[in-house]
Amino acid sequence: MKCRNMECPFSVQRSGSGKSERLASNCLVADSVKEVSFSKGDFIFSQDQQSCCVFIVTRGVVKIVSVTPDGREQIVGFANPHKLMVGLQSLSNDHYVNSAVAETNITACKIRRRALLSAVTHNANVALRLIDALNAQLAMTRSLMRAVEHQSAASKIAALLLLLLPTTGRSSKRFVLPVSRVEIANILGLSEETVCRQMADMKRQDILYAPRGSIEIHDWDRLRAIADESQMIH
């Protein structure tokens, strides 16, 4: 299977034959993969649903949600073409431990759980790449925890924005902002008013511009400094 998602843990990159042809990729688990699409707001799977597959996002953003015992929904992670496989916990559980919701229109590779586990058994390269995917998920979880634990509201917000935005090709171009200000507030334990005020301060200092549903970062260095709590907004 040829695929252009170079961030997929199971891709093997090859150079294209034509001058205008980009790098293409062969998939190590091609026999187990089906390409699927979801519209914004669709559930890819629900918490406690019987598990069957994992998903690798090739376009768009997926929100990972956990329902607490008192019925509240808590965002616990995100997945985009640069971060995470969706549903990895299902490899060792018969049911999904979280829900996955399409935050934008998405395209993803759907990999059957049993077929992936079989590939792991017979192909050490697949096993090593799966370990890398698990490590990436742990890194995302740790980064999200660090963002929440920052002392100032500004540093919390800056750290979360850096976590959500693509890790490559960063410039002043506009990105989709996969969460609302209300969701940012819920993730970070802040009020919506505080989030709006802090982002307005960043806009006034020309660090970012965030019209509804999108964001432009004008000063990545300053945003990183705020996330590191070494340069606070006053």
The domain 151-227: what is its CATH number? 1.10.10.10
Is the pLDDT at 231 greater than 60? The verdict is no
The DSSP line for 139-166 is HHHHHHHHHHH-SSHHHHHHHHHHHHS-
Residue in the block written with tokens 């759907």: 110
Nearest to 46 by CA among 84, 73, 70, 69: 73
Region 182-195: mean pLDDT is: 91
Please give the radius of gyration of the chain, using alpha carbons only, rounded to the nearest integer. 19
pLDDT at 177 over 90: no
With cut-offs at 50, 70 and 90, classify the pLDDT of residue 83: low
What is the per-residue pLDDT for 203?
94
DSSP characters for 164-231? HS-SSS-SSSEEE--S-HHHHHHHHT--HHHHHHHHHHHHHTTSEE--TTEEEES-HHHHHHHHTTSS
The residue with tokens 């964001």 is 215
Q: Are 87 and 47 in contact (CB under 8 A)?
A: no
> Rounded to an integer, what distance in angstroms lies between the CA atom of residue 229 and that of residue 19?
46
Block residue for tokens 């490559």? 168
28: pLDDT confidence band, cut at 50, 70 and 90?
A: confident
Residue 156 has pLDDT above 70, yes or no: yes
Angle at CA 222, nearest 5°, toward 103 and 168?
50
Q: In the Cβ-directed half-sphere of 167, how many Cα atoms lie within 13 Å? A: 10
The pTM score is 0.73
pLDDT of residue 30: 73
The pLDDT value given to residue 98: 92
pLDDT of residue 22: 46
Of 92, 96, 86, 88, which is closest to residue 38 (Cα–Cα)?
86
CATH 2.60.120.10 range(s) for the chain read 2-147
Residue 206: pLDDT over 80: yes
pLDDT at 153 over 80: yes
Instruction: Tell me if 105 sits within 8 A of 38, measured CB to CB.
Output: yes
The structure tokens 């059957």 sit at 112
Mean pLDDT of the chain: 82
List where CATH 1.10.10.10 sits in the chain. Answer: 151-227
Q: How confident is the model at residue 20 (pLDDT cuts 50, 70, 90)?
A: very low
Q: For the domain bounded by 2-147, which CATH number is listed?
A: 2.60.120.10
